[in-house]
Amino acid sequence: MFLAHSFRLRDPWQCEPTEAGGRRWSRVFHRPTGLEPDDQLVLVLTGAPSTTQVTINGHIFFQASSLSSAELAASQPPVSQYDLTAILADDNRIELLIPPQASSLKPQASPPFPYDARLAVIGHS
């Protein structure tokens, strides 16, 4: 297993406040070209609170990571990984729901995306 390629999901992220006072970040991305049949695609999210709800193509993910709980606790900022391989479509939608207590952003028209989101292609052959 090896990291074949990774790329950052930069703008355009859309941000909207939730009724509960949190934030909903969303973005669309296309299936990466050149994926081999046994490749794995992983979303790596850095800096988002551990209480963030991650939804991709309508599928809700629970926080997962290849790091141990001690490594996760020590990592600054927090890092989470989500395997998208089984649900990958040609057009994909990511939604991050940040609860109110974790949303430190002040209301503004279009705040910049405050986290690091990357897609990693992991090769198995």
Give the pLDDT score at 70: 58
Give the pLDDT score at 124: 79
Does residue 56 belong to any structural domain of this protein?
Answer: yes
Count of structural domains, the chain: 1
Query: CATH number, domain at 40?
Result: 2.60.120.260
State which residues form the domain around 68: 2-104+116-123
- Distances in Å between the alpha carbon of 54 and those of 17, 33, 45, 81, 123? 16, 24, 10, 10, 24
Does residue 61 belong to any structural domain of this protein?
Answer: yes
d(CA 125, CA 117): 25
d(CA 122, CA 4): 5
**Nearest residue to 35 via CA among 92, 115, 96, 79:** 92
**In this prediction, what percent of the chain has a pLDDT beyond 70?**
78
Does residue 109 belong to any structural domain of this protein?
Answer: no
Query: Is the backbone of residue 34 left (phi > 0), alpha (psi -120 to 50) or beta?
Result: left
Does residue 111 belong to any structural domain of this protein?
Answer: no
- Please give the average per-residue pLDDT across 29-49, as a whole number: 92
64 — pLDDT class (breaks 50, 70, 90) = very low
Q: Which has the minimum average pLDDT: 3-12, 36-45, 65-74, 101-110?
A: 65-74
12 — pLDDT class (breaks 50, 70, 90) = very high
List pLDDT tens digits, range 100-118.
Answer: 876 555 555 668 999 999 9
Non-local CB neighbours of 4 within 8 Å, separated by 6+ positions: 39, 121, 122, 123
Mapped onto helix, strand or coil, the DSSP state of residue 123 is strand
